[in-house]
Structure 1
Amino acid sequence: MDHLQHQEMVDIESQTVEIPDILHKGKRQVILKFDNVVYKIKTKKGGVFVKNKETEEKEILKGVKGVVEPGEMLAMLGPSGSGKTTLLTALGGRLRGKLYGSITYNGEAFSNSMKRNTGFVTQDDVLYPHLTVTETLVFTALLRLPNTISKEEKVKKAKDVIDQLGLTKCKDSIVGSPFLRGVSGGERKRVSIGQEMLINPSLLFLDEPTSGLDSTTAQRIVSTLWELACGGRTIVMTIHQPSSRLYYLFHKVLLLSEGNSLYFGKGSEAIEYFSNIGYAPALAMNPADFLLDLANGIYTDESNTDHAIDKQKLVSMCKINCAAQLKPAALEGINDSSKSQNRFQEKGSEKWPTSWSQQFTVLLRRDIKERRHESFSALRVAQVFVVALISGLLWYKSDISHLQDQIGLLFFVSGFWGFFPLFQAIFTFPQELLMLEKERSSGMYRLSSYFMSRVVADLPMELSLPTIFILITYWMAGLKGKLLNFLYTLLTLLLHVLVSQGLGLALGATVMDQKAATTLASVLMLCFLLAGGFYVQHVPVFISWVKYISINYYNYQLFIASQYSDGETYPCSTGQCRVAEFPSIKQTGFHFNLQEQVMAASALVIMMIGYRLIAYVALMRIGVTKK
């Protein structure tokens, strides 16, 4: 075994490319210590149709202990469901719920200062697919690095990270997604790591950084992390089943099984430890495979016979072993002066790395770059053009003698531009929930700056398409040719679009389920259409109140006011009749006076603002605000 281990280390050293740690100069080092960490969740017993469901507490972590010092890389091994990711999330300060025990960073609790010195790479690479590698890292640098660093220096740091992680060849390639060809899986993972490396973290957490990668790419990723650890960082990762080449890169190993620790110590000493307590491998094998067999309760003896083992014995032995390693002396390197300096930095540090206006500007630029491919897609533009042309042809050169047809066109426009922006906006926040949670949990920006940039970024497309639509349909349909009437109609339509978009944002943020939100939106908009005053004029009193919350009701009134006036007449069977007496207009109760038009416009403005406030509050309630 010693010969095999020596040979593996020789292979690793020969394949590891030395990466200069250009970012870690002068950075505070961190000793991570966790003692008797327990995490409990409540689960419900009983089926779907059981009325009185019992709740019970389930322990996910059961008194886990360990310590990781600067320059060390800790790998947490264990089968699926052993608690690896839960422990990693707890150590990264991101776990909510009933967490007990002690987790300290240089002897202190987790704080905002520590949060800004901590990087966390999730298992799934949550990245914008249409941004290039350089754009992804530059935008992250502009948002996460403090104002004490100039913009030019931030861009330079992003380029330095690209060089450091070997991303130079693909720096101008888009990141891509499962449905969009981009960089490779290993390069995507390195981009995710690079986003965290930008803040020069003293402490770096990674959840399954080699998941889904081939052995060669996984070797490069872990070798890079090994070099970063040797630069003075404290690195903690979860990994499912590493090869022997990867295993011998780990300075320390924590073996978990059903929330219990079975081993904590140097990776190179794990085989010797288990051999001393009666569990020696029968033949030369990957130490990680042997440890995972033990974690699954399986031990193969020299006769190649599998035996079930007593895990409780391993847990008890591990507690004794861990107790010897977790000594107060581990913190001797942190003197009182450095502690007081850290507390001073925490007290005087800014809450956010950049100002609100900087966050808004950078996020707006990023949103426009990412969303332009979706917003200005050929399919959306073609859809609007086709509907506009068909509408213009169906109502071609209609005049006031066909008043019912003209009113029908106005109501159709109201209905179409109620549904179209509504269903576009519904998917905004559900699709970006993972990205929002990832970036907000790292303290990258305020929720308000994200929300405003997200809303403003959609305005060019949300306002340009209805403008093109009305330019085509309005003149083909023969509506009033005066410029004032056209502008009145256009402004009414744009206000209607913004209100519908706000409703979509509110529904999407509140429900956060695309199918459920779409169904709810369809029901609501259909109710608004029916109560808009065109389909049903004689509405029973007990349900007539619905029209006052209908977007289409107020929009329909403003559309009518944009085309007709109180004293205007139209040809009828008795000669000339007043437009105000036409049934489809009279039964709405609308009068052609300025006060009612102002009231209708005010109602839409209130809805436009109110729906967006609901969306913002909904985002706050789902737990993505800064903690």
Structure 2
Amino acid sequence: MSSHSTTGADDPFFPREGKTLTWSKVNMSVAGTKKKPPKSLLQDVWGECPKKEITAIMGPSGAGKTSLLNIIAGRSRTGGALSVTADVRLNNSPVDPTSLDIRKQIAFVAQDDSLMATATPRESIRFSAKLRLSRATTEEELDTLTDTMIDSLGLSHCADTYVGSALMKGISGGERKRTSVGVELVTKPAIIFLDEPTSGLDSYSATQVIELLHKVAEAGTSVLFTIHQPSSEIFNAFDHLILLNKGRVMYQGAVGSIPTFFENCKHPVPPNYNPADWIMTIAQQIPEEQLNQDGFFQSDNRNLGVSLDGGFSKKSDIITHGGAVQSSMLFKRELQNIVRDKASLGARFGITIFLNLLFGIIFLDVGRLDNENVSNTRSHFGALVMVMISSMFGAAQPALFAIPVERPVFLREYSTNHYGVLPYFMNRLAIEATMTFLQTLVAMLIVHWLIGFQANFFMLALIAYALSMASTAVAVLLGCAIDDTKMAQEFLPLLFVPQMLFAGFFVAVEFLPNWLQWVQYVCSLSYALRLAMLAEFDSCVNVEPEFSNSTSVSNCLMILKDINSDYDSAWWYWLLLGALFLVLRLWALWVLKSKAQSFY
């Protein structure tokens, strides 16, 4: 047990009064098109989730279980072809579950446990509490709440074990689900919604989850969840059931009343038969018209007057941490994630070291060679180009995959008001800036010494860093627009090939079609390479007039002329690199915010 003491006010499992959730006239439909007729997904659905009881929503696939849960939880967006109407009440007081103040007082646990793989249950719960509770909450109170939650969830034995993922060993599926529930319970919500909480769990783990939900309900949090086809043991543990079929309510009431109801409807539950299996068999095999005639699909005959008391508070008076603290906490968590994910960290820096050692060996001492020879000058030029392209690749690829990989965790935490889009975005920027800096430093230490570049080390490193950050801006924009990592892999060539084609180094700009020549102006590689060439061949620009006819100087000047580089334009190249970075970052922020808001 915890060494901290706790009070009823701190403990989400301390008994409270509890509230009953009711809903009626829930309709969802998709407008028709020229090729498809309109489709009704939910038709006048009604029901209730009594206080201090657990209520299950069952039904065949496509019955509308998840759609109903999302509507009641305020997670279903209307607009376009989708139309949704609903009357949702708490203790008979009408509420709008889509409003921010109401959503702060409810909890939602999705079917997929979107948790940080490298975090522990203790860290996950404390992180949620820190960001979602009042900023006046002390560190000791957070520790007390976290320890109490860990004990109550039965997670003491694995509290400091990584959550894990498909690629990382961690806690079991049942423990992961209980952690997900704990993450949401820190705010002591009036209602907790769960989508398929026992999906993918063995019978023992599923039973533990249902027992936990009973404990939550008895403490005063209304519990409503969807489930497909439970075992008889789990089914008999339910208090209340809503059976949906083809978007309509086939049964709504206490689980203990099911045998009587089905017998009255001419479909009695056979002796020694799992009622859950029987009602699903009836729902799936009996035609809808026959079910209508037999007395199923009853309409809502409740008399729901309007109560002026007992619902949600209309406005949450909890002042949580601002964006700066949110970004700081996200940054610390992400750094911890990077350090703990040793395989990814090792691969990132291992590849950087290997490639730059390879460049250093191939172009060994090229920068120290006399430029009297044209081939020496070309090799010198090639070494610089390859190092810059490698910097672009090395930084942009991890940035492209970062947001698609984190998307499930981000969307869950954003939808449950852990933080806003801007703090998350600024955290990603800080992480990319830090990792790119370290990566660039390692790369430059290797190649500058082996190749023998003449440019000032810090200037060349700064140019490579600026190119890397501009490239990550493009990668992040694509990452924000892309939904998953598989799609990100398909778009990977789009990051690099246009940069190399339009930078003007492999194909002269004048050979490009006129209508494509403008692309060079949005290629960060073009500006960075010009800056690098000017820094590397600075001796050509600043040579004394009496030596301007030497072969060495002539070859350098030929390179600078070929790439159309002018020392007086260096400040302009820096400005354009910065402008590209800023515009692409702002664009990515807009895309990420639009995606997040459209999803929830």
Question: TM-score by structure 1 length?
Answer: 0.86
Aligned twin of 1:386: 354
Separation (CA, whole Å) in 1 of partners of 2:489 and 2:505: 24
CA contact (8 A) 2:502 2:509 kept: no
Amino acid at match of 1:419: F
Aligned to 1:310: 290
Q: CA deviation at 1:440?
A: 1.4
Q: Deviations over 1:319-364 (max 9, x none)?
A: 25x41xx3337x7xx6x4656x934xx1x735x6321112111111
In 2: Cα distance, 1:20 partner to 1:227 partner: 17
Of residues 379, 382, 405 in structure 2, which corresponds to 1:431? 405
* Structure 1 position 319 matched with structure 2 position 298: yes
Equivalent position of 1:38 in the other structure: 27
Look up the equivalent residue of 1:310 and give its one-letter code: Q
Indicate whether 1:421 and 2:404 are aligned. Answer: no
C-alpha distance in structure 1 between counterparts of 2:9 and 2:113, whole Å: 25
Does the aligned pair in 2 maintain the 1:28–1:202 contact within 8 Å?
no
Could you list the per-position Cα deviations for residues 108-154 of structure 1 after superposition, in whole angstroms to 9, with x for gaps in the alignment?
Answer: 22243321221111111111111111111111111121223223212
Cα distance in 1 for residues equivalent to 2:326 and 2:288:
57
Q: Matched residue of 2:551: which SS?
A: strand
Provide Cα deviations, 1:144-191, integer angstroms capped at 9, x if missing partner: 212232232123212211110100000011001112111011101101
Q: Which residue of 2 aligns with 1:612?
A: 585
- 2:118 aligns with 130
In the other structure, the counterpart of 1:304 is none
Residues 118 and 341 in structure 2, CA contact (< 8 A), matched pair in contact too: no
Aligned to 2:84: 99
Q: 1:532 to 1:112 in 2, by over 3 A?
A: closer
Aligned to 1:79: 60
Task: State the partner residue of 1:591.
Answer: 566
Q: May I ask how many residue pairs the two structures share in their alignment?
A: 574
CA distance in 2, matches of 1:280, 1:552: 74
Letter of the aligned partner of 1:145 in structure 2?
L
The change in CA–CA distance for 1:523 and 1:196 in structure 2 (over 3 A counts) is closer
Distance 1:362 1:519, change over 3 A: same
Q: Look up the match of 2:328.
A: 361
Shift of 1:537: 3.6
Q: Which letter maps to 2:22?
A: K
Summarize the alignment of residues 333-344 of structure 1 with structure 2, pairs less than 5 Å apart.
336=308, 342-343=313-314
Amino acid at match of 1:403: T
Contact map agreement 1:70 1:229 (CA 8 A) in 2: yes
Aligned to 2:210: 222
The aligned runs of 1:507-586 (5 Å cut-off) are: 507-537=478-508, 539-540=510-511, 542=514, 543-565=516-538, 566-568=541-543, 575-578=550-553, 582-586=557-561
Matched residues in 2 for 1:285 and 1:141: separation? 44
Give aligned-pair identity as a percent: 26
**Structure 2 CA distance, aligned partners of 1:430 and 1:255?**
36
- 2 CA distance for matches of 1:370 and 1:213? 26
Aligned to 2:5: none
> In 2, are the aligned partners of 1:421 and 1:504 still within 8 Å (CA)?
no
Give secondary structure in 2 for the equivalent of 1:108: strand
Partner-residue secondary structure (3-state), 2:503: coil
Match of 2:108 in 1: 120
2:13/2:152 contact within 8 Å kept:
no
**Residue 310 of structure 1: CA displacement?**
1.1
Report the counterpart of residue 460 of structure 2 in structure 1.
489
Query: What is the deviation of 1:383?
Result: 1.2
1:108 to 85, 91, 94: 94
2:4 match = none
Unaligned runs of 5+ in 1: 1-18, 45-52, 299-306
Query: Does the C-alpha gap of structure 1 residues 511 and 231 become closer, same or farther in structure 2, counting only changes over 3 Å?
Result: closer
- 1:296, CA displacement in angstroms? 1.1
- 2:433 maps to which of 459, 475, 486: 459
The 1:625–1:137 alpha-carbon spacing in structure 2 relative to 1, beyond 3 Å, is farther
Q: TM-score, normalised by structure 2?
A: 0.89
Alignment root-mean-square deviation, CA: 2.8
Question: 2:484, 2:310 → 1: CA distance?
Answer: 48
CA spacing shift, 1:625–1:445, aligned 2, 3 Å = farther
The CA deviation string for residues 222-245 of structure 1, in whole angstroms up to 9 with x for no partner, is 011112212222111111112222
CA distance in 2, matches of 1:269, 1:78: 17
Q: Tell me the SS of whatever aligns to 1:128.
A: coil
What SS does structure 2 have at the residue aligned with 1:204?
strand
CA contact (8 A) 2:30 2:39 kept: yes
The more displaced of 87-96 and 243-252 is 243-252
Instruction: Check whether the contact 2:25–2:44 (CA below 8 A) recurs between aligned residues.
Output: yes
Structure 2: 5+ residue stretches without partners:
1-7
Task: Map 1:188-267; keep pairs closer than 5 Å.
Answer: 188-267=176-255
SS in 1 for 2:61: coil
| 3-state secondary structure, aligned to 2:44 | strand
Matched residue, 1:302: none
Answering whether residue 304 of structure 2 is matched by residue 328 of structure 1, we say yes
Q: Is the 8 A contact 1:77 1:253 kept in 2?
A: yes
* Equivalence for 1:396: 364
